[in-house]
Structure 1
Amino acid sequence: EVEPLLYRKSGTPFWCLLDVVPIKNEKGEVALFLVSHKDITDSKSRPGAESWKEGGKRRFSRASARGFNANRRRSRAVLYHLSGHLQKQGRSKHKLNKGVFGDKPSLPEYKVAAIRKSPF
């Protein structure tokens, strides 16, 4: 978790709360990274908030920290569940398993129509 000072396309600066969390698969290997970011310029510029020059970590109350951790766990669970539906195919290709969107028919279905002659 870091709080870098970033710049918009217009050149105006803003403070960003940036958090990167690794998501591991059932083997314990890192499969994905969850990156979350939030504009915290308003909270940095409020009276009583940390000075922009200090650049320390933001202080959370215990109640908000518990809610934040619960949201992090929920996001991690969703990504972990989705990553379980990916199977590696070759070196860099991934294919979704059948269980995600239901069973696929074994053969494609085509509509049969009578042949019509062209009017020309």
Structure 2
Amino acid sequence: MRRNRLLTTAAALGAAAALGLAVPHTAAAGTGGRCSYVSSDYRPTLTYGSTGAAVRQAQCLSNAWGGVPPKLAADGRYGDLTLKKVEWIQVCHGLPESGVIEGRTWEVLYHPALDCYARYPD
């Protein structure tokens, strides 16, 4: 029974994606332990153009998202791809789409929502 439900759900999600409908992107819970570029207590404000270990941490944490969003290289440079992903994560969590990583955005990077129905920007 459970297997049939999983197959039905997978088929429905595949059909929805093929039709261009929003399908959930999922995040792995508790990814902070795998990202160790800085202490989880160190949460500086980061903006487009920022560099360093805290940017690497944010990039690593953003990679908890499965599905369509691309994995970011933890290169420590806050550029176009990082900006696009951060803005999308902010939308998924109902935050202002500012691209600025600060208090609430750090919080959701460490504790992501399990599903997001917002379409990842092209």
- Relative contact order: is structure 1 or structure 2 higher (C-alpha 8 Å, sep ≥ 6)? 2
If the length of structure 1 is used for normalisation, what is the TM-score? 0.20
TM-score (norm 2): 0.20
Structure having the higher strand fraction is 1
